[in-house]
Structure 1
Amino acid sequence: MSRLPNRRDEEVRRLLDTPHPAVPVDLAARAMLRGRRIVHRRRIEHSVLWALLAAAVIAGIVLTVLNWPHSTPPVPNDGTWWSPNGPD
């Protein structure tokens, strides 16, 4: 079974047969430095976000402790446990 020639295949072959452009000599070194900068920036961002999350949790705990009711109001004891208003 023969395939019909595909125009895209021919275009790709033509592009691959042409001479390739020259690659800069320091391309690998520049890519490595850029990668290091990106990783360093991400680590700093993650550290800052974790610190903000920790500060928010600590602030929430402190606010909860400061606003927590220290004692509950006494419940009147009327002698019955089944009715809040007592015996009728």
Structure 2
Amino acid sequence: VPNTEWLKGTVELSKFGEVIVDSHGRTNIPGVFAAGDCTTVPFKQIVIAAGDGSKAALSAFDHLIRMPVVAAAPAGAQAVEAVAEVA
């Protein structure tokens, strides 16, 4: 039985408490990936968990590089003004 009690109400879990993932390690929450014995993969072996961890990491990387770039923080004088407002 996986130790996923703390995940209830976040990612989708199976009736056995396993994190439900697709073939790329994606959960039902965009940008959240899982791998290993806590997931719904049928075989609970170290070599399978290691391979699935690698697959989930590559899927997470792919997810990140396809996301739009968020505007950078203010630079120069604007940054000094922003810090002064907080202080």
Highest relative contact order (Cα 8 Å, sep 6+), 1 or 2? 2
Q: Which has the higher helix share?
A: 1
Same fold per superposition (TM over 0.5) = no
Scaled by the length of structure 1, what TM-score is found?
A: 0.31
Q: Rg bigger for which structure?
A: 1
Scaled by the length of structure 2, what TM-score is found?
A: 0.31
